[in-house]
Structure 1
């Protein structure tokens, strides 16, 4: 028999032997007690005894932590720190009861297994442990091989290629060494080949693992390959495609095919823990550039910070497992056995550039009878990519909610497939339970409308699909009251392997039943959920605090063109399912983006913000690192997509991130607005006179802003000055 799915890959990601030793110790204790939950202390004793036993027999064994020289010197008190690591790594199948000090398999899983499953798991753990130590005893290691190439290749390239010792090592010894790993050796279909060039040294040497049933050459098909950066600063373990055959139809067509295939494969297999983006960098031209386009997913290893041998082997095994799944699907398809429902569940995602996809989005919106300025759609996209929380403000009836719905529909997210959800906010919402959920009188958790979306978006099959939540009339209730938990959790975003996650939204300890804890206890805000609030700013609504404004881009709908008419075109514009990478943020902190071509953008933007912050300090409205980072990310994403000019992009950020913070009735506020207007116009003003009477600015707005550097911001500032002159008070929301 084969192990259940939850156990089949249980040792894929391992740093040391501890996971296998823990499972063996647990199963031994369970066989003695015939109980699912057993004494954690007894398991620790067995765990330590196993490692001490290997040491006494002079067998290979992982060294203890904290510089303890021998397992014989490890005390039981120190085992807790050691054993917590494998317990945490196996938390998808194990659970610990801290009150009872017991450990066991999760009950809902254990209840579906019989004794045969436990026996097979025991044998599997012992076999994995033995293979692990065999690899430890071998002279060959992946780490040693990669380091050898990374350090010696630059010097070797200065020598003739023929009979070069490093060249022969790469072509002969590395493939032989990799074949020795059980997950390669045990599959007769896998072929290992390496190259440093043909006649002359390759700029990008490689080591490939191919399944003979779909390809025996790196010129076509799909395979696993280690690709070394030309400067030998890093090596990438990738799932990639052959580029030689596709390029015979022309480079443009080849790149289009390869990019399309990348998106297709990403929807077919999990590729968990791997990076799935276009950040791989090998070389600026030639085959290296082709390899970059053809890469589906990858691990990156920097030469100066190579992981341990255990981690490198675990990463390769994980990618081999994914590759086998892909090959299985391809062979099924060739045999005509592919299930049509699978094809529906994995929709084709055309490989479009960002600008091409946004052009399609705009065409879709126009055909549905709505007209928004092109720059508004671009701005909306960039705002979502910068931070997955956007506020759309404006008078009623300007199409705020419709923009969200149609934008979502245009990239395949509809209410029918559950990827678009409209949540009307009620005036009586006073705490997060209205949105997230609550416990009823029977102590069962009743999820709120947002929680249902988060659960669906977190499902494995949906992780690469964007989910949109539109909070309609968001400020009918006080946002800080019902949305406070979400605002705080959004600030805990962190990168975990290839995904962005947050802290838990609902504490498991607050849930009474095992079913609720299983479904909601580890729920976080996944990186494929985008929150958009629509607001009307009038006397019936609540204003926003700086806490809210700091965390969102606020886009105003003020330019209304009533003489825009629906398109009469009969050409049907269909929606195109977009992968989540289209919208997902690439950066969480400025350090993530501060490299290469982005450095000038970051430094120029920050310089302008420093100038603006100096003005804002006088009224205590200056901004912090959160806003600086968000504005820099917005401008970087804009440059990468080629949507707006740098001035247009900064204009939107000045308008949306800086000006909403300004309000007041005193002369200091007016002085600040005039200084900001000078920046927006790109010229000096007679501020002394204008502080007394600014009517010459707003009496002819078009003339005032006709050559402005930041046109939208200049116009808004003029309106704010007018309100200050006429009403004695101004804010961003009064216009």
Structure 2
């Protein structure tokens, strides 16, 4: 008999257990011996590792599958309903009151169209049935009247066992992961030993920016190592080109839509999958790992044209079954309707600002942290005496966002959120003069950044807020009119508590005594550009 036939037999005959002794013996034999034998014979079941046990409660039978080599209270099982009309293939926790939380199991397992993660399973009405229902984290439901084919049942079991294996690996790693501060120290050391020198607070800034939203942009003059930094950031958390979890995508000037990123149909009618679509699919299939897509020189083409679909989907992030998910990228598409932007995919863009590139729209600036790199230390050689850097198990559950909406963080961090908001109200009073005031999205993301940075102990409030003025406020400012210049003077006073006279070029930026020194230096640069060119922008190289 096949697996399907034996599952049907148990479901249809279990109610007869209380009858004739021979019938009872036959049903128990099927449940405890023959059905497990059918499972042991499956190609993807390793008999040396798997313990399969057919058992029965007072009113319903069940079969558990547990790995003998793994200490975990989470298992895969077949549960039969009390009325014999349904069978459920489930992942569930044991009966200990201190067992794993169902939310954790659901969080650390990948999404699948056919696997349900809700509380709607119905075993029966008895106390024992309700107890089992309360321990099920995810399941595939079958009706006896239309039980799938034997091949489909085997494929489903293979799927759930794979999800269980991935859960064990991911959950185990999550309990051993580093704290944010230790993770930043590791990343900084990894980059330093690779031969590139960046200040630790700059690495911390990039880390918190990625944690706030998995999309950042590295800007700066040519030769500052923007692309290399992006690659090393990915390498340091285990996402390498060699293991397929990192992809470098050079942007071309002739990109006019998303087909070069996502894919297109060629002249023969075959679909040519884009690099970005491929790494999205891998990230969805393997939520335990972090994936990194690097868009190199992303403003050689107009970003709003080829990246608009992804930007729009990025803003649809919401909580679904304990995970951050976005709307589908290809709604209604026959082949890719289940593709979304997964939270374990980090996007790092690099840009140069010169005569060969395009500027950024306000839409893009609102959706990212723009991190400027202009400092080069050619005389740093201490890395030559070090051993090769080692990668570390920094997991996606550590670097991914914890918040999507402000209400997610408000209860725990209300005081900090109000402190940030009060500062932003002051900034907005200045920005409103040039119609550049900060909106809800930017407010929320600045709050999230401050929560991560201050909570980690890496930054004080002022240090973290300084980075956010520099990366979320100043890139918005450009112009050639007096209102723009007056705005910069007001922002300079806000950052330094120092009034500038008309001869502002004689002013000295004394970082030690300022509240927000990084932003103040940048504002001074922008004002000097205005004086020389009659126009200023965040992006133009410093005028001396």
State TM-score, norm by structure 2. 0.73
1:270 counterpart = 2:85: no
Query: Residue 371 of structure 1: CA displacement?
Result: 0.8
Query: Residue 397 of structure 1: CA displacement?
Result: 1.1
In 1, Cα distance between equivalents of 2:414 and 2:167: 44
In 1, Cα distance between equivalents of 2:411 and 2:216: 27
Pick from 237, 250, 271 the counterpart of residue 411 of structure 1.
237
SS of residue paired to 1:578: coil
1:476 counterpart = 2:315: no
SS of residue paired to 1:582: helix
| Superposed CA offset, 1:329-376 (max 9, x none) | xxxxxxxxxx9x999999967532221122111111111111111011
SS of residue paired to 1:654: helix
| Superposed CA offset, 1:553-600 (max 9, x none) | 00000222222224133444311122111211011000111013x111
In 2, Cα distance between equivalents of 1:210 and 1:432: 42
Contact 2:94 2:135 in 1 (8 A): no
Pick from 565, 571, 579 the counterpart of residue 381 of structure 2.
565
Residue 706 (structure 1) aligns with: 512
| Superposed CA offset, 1:177-229 (max 9, x none) | xx7685xx746999xxxxxxxxxxxxxxxxx9899xxxxxxxxxx965446xx
Residue 157 (structure 2) aligns with: none
In 2, Cα distance between equivalents of 1:657 and 1:342: 37
1:507 counterpart = 2:331: yes
1:552 counterpart = 2:368: yes
Residue 456 (structure 1) aligns with: 282
Pick from 73, 77, 101 the counterpart of residue 238 of structure 1.
101
Pick from 513, 519, 529 the counterpart of residue 345 of structure 2.
529
| Superposed CA offset, 1:262-312 (max 9, x none) | 9xx999x83879xxxxxxxxxxxxxxxxxxxxxxxx999xxxxxxxx9999
Pick from 486, 500, 521 the counterpart of residue 715 of structure 1.
521
| Superposed CA offset, 1:674-731 (max 9, x none) | 11111111x1415xxx3x442222xx33x3x331101100000010111111111001
Contact 1:680 1:711 in 2 (8 A): yes
Contact 1:224 1:320 in 2 (8 A): no
Pick from 318, 327, 331 the counterpart of residue 137 of structure 2.
318
SS of residue paired to 2:135: helix
Residue 726 (structure 1) aligns with: 532
Pick from 658, 674, 694 the counterpart of residue 504 of structure 2.
694
1:428 counterpart = 2:244: no
In 2, Cα distance between equivalents of 1:426 and 1:537: 15
In 1, Cα distance between equivalents of 2:464 and 2:131: 42
Specify whether residues 124 and 434 from structure 1 end up closer, same or farther in structure 2 by C-alpha distance, changes over 3 A only. Answer: farther
Matches within 5 A, 1:160-175: none
Residue 212 (structure 2) aligns with: 386
SS of residue paired to 1:530: strand
Pick from 466, 488, 499 the counterpart of residue 685 of structure 1.
499
State TM-score, norm by structure 1. 0.55
1:439 counterpart = 2:265: yes
Contact 2:109 2:167 in 1 (8 A): no
In 2, Cα distance between equivalents of 1:311 and 1:500: 29
In 2, Cα distance between equivalents of 1:437 and 1:451: 7
Query: Residue 237 of structure 1: CA displacement?
Result: 6.4
| Superposed CA offset, 1:366-402 (max 9, x none) | 1111111101110000000001110000011111111
Contact 2:214 2:345 in 1 (8 A): yes
Contact 1:678 1:685 in 2 (8 A): yes
Q: Which runs of 5+ in 2 are unaligned?
A: 16-56, 67-71, 76-92, 120-127, 141-164
In 2, Cα distance between equivalents of 1:424 and 1:312: 54
Pick from 288, 296, 314 the counterpart of residue 490 of structure 1.
314
In 2, Cα distance between equivalents of 1:694 and 1:485: 44
1:637 counterpart = 2:452: yes
In 2, Cα distance between equivalents of 1:483 and 1:401: 19
Pick from 467, 480, 487 the counterpart of residue 652 of structure 1.
467
Specify whether residues 619 and 416 from structure 1 end up closer, same or farther in structure 2 by C-alpha distance, changes over 3 A only. Answer: same
In 2, Cα distance between equivalents of 1:399 and 1:344: 35
SS of residue paired to 2:392: coil
Equivalent pairs, count: 444
In 2, Cα distance between equivalents of 1:659 and 1:641: 25
Query: Residue 637 of structure 1: CA displacement?
Result: 1.0
Higher RCO (CA-CA < 8 Å; seq separation 6+) = 2
| Superposed CA offset, 1:232-285 (max 9, x none) | xxxx96279xxxxxxxxxxxxxxxxxxxxx9xx999x83879xxxxxxxxxxxx
Specify whether residues 452 and 570 from structure 1 end up closer, same or farther in structure 2 by C-alpha distance, changes over 3 A only. Answer: same
In 2, Cα distance between equivalents of 1:376 and 1:669: 28
| Superposed CA offset, 1:496-529 (max 9, x none) | 11221111112334xxxxxxx34x2321111110
Contact 1:365 1:410 in 2 (8 A): yes
In 2, Cα distance between equivalents of 1:636 and 1:526: 23
Residue 669 (structure 1) aligns with: 484
Contact 1:693 1:725 in 2 (8 A): no
Specify whether residues 446 and 666 from structure 1 end up closer, same or farther in structure 2 by C-alpha distance, changes over 3 A only. Answer: same
In 2, Cα distance between equivalents of 1:602 and 1:382: 16
Specify whether residues 124 and 423 from structure 1 end up closer, same or farther in structure 2 by C-alpha distance, changes over 3 A only. Answer: farther
Q: Which runs of 5+ in 1 are unaligned?
A: 4-116, 130-178, 191-207, 212-221, 228-235, 241-261, 274-297, 301-308, 322-338, 510-516
Specify whether residues 186 and 546 from structure 1 end up closer, same or farther in structure 2 by C-alpha distance, changes over 3 A only. Answer: same
